Amino acid sequence: MITGFYAGLLGLWLVFLILSVVRLRWKYRVGMGDGGQRELMQAIRIHGNFIETVPFVLILMGLLELRDFSPALLLHGFGVTLLVSRLLHWHGLTRSATTSVGRTVGTVLIVFLVLTGAVLLIFNFVVR
């Protein structure tokens, strides 16, 4: 199961993001919110953006895989693009809270994946 492989890799990345937030909460002694700490705010948003986007793309991938509609190469393309998009987003947002190349490219890639996955699933439904 190709989607499961990428879900596993992204699960490890999620653990890293969670621990990043926890470490900063301990460092700044902030239990709720960001305590006005920019570094903590960035870590919270990186984690939040991951949670807001990755599960849905994995669901799209899983549905494409279950429908046996997408070749393995396309699913691996989705998975690699998803990983790259989140790494770029993380890199861009850890460097700057404003617009950055990594953040922008990461966001564009996520939108591309959601749009492509949605269109492929709709097409698959109509064709079959």
Provide the CATH number for the domain formed by 2-127 in this structure: 1.20.120.550
CA nearest 107: which of 85, 80, 75, 124? 85
pTM of the model: 0.91
**Per-residue pLDDT, 127:** 85
**Per-residue pLDDT, 96:** 74
Q: What tokens were used for 32?
A: 């709720």
What whole-number distance in Å separates Cα of residue 89 and Cα of residue 46?
Answer: 8
pLDDT digits (tens, 9 = 90+) for 56-97: 999 999 999 998 877 899 999 999 999 999 999 999 988 876
Residue 104 has pLDDT above 90, yes or no: yes
**Per-residue pLDDT, 94:** 86
Q: Where are the domains of the chain?
A: 2-127
**Per-residue pLDDT, 10:** 98
Spatial neighbors of 46 by CB under 8 A, at least 6 apart, are: 17, 20, 89, 90, 93, 94
pLDDT digits (tens, 9 = 90+) for 9-56: 999 999 999 999 999 999 999 999 889 999 999 999 999 999 999 999
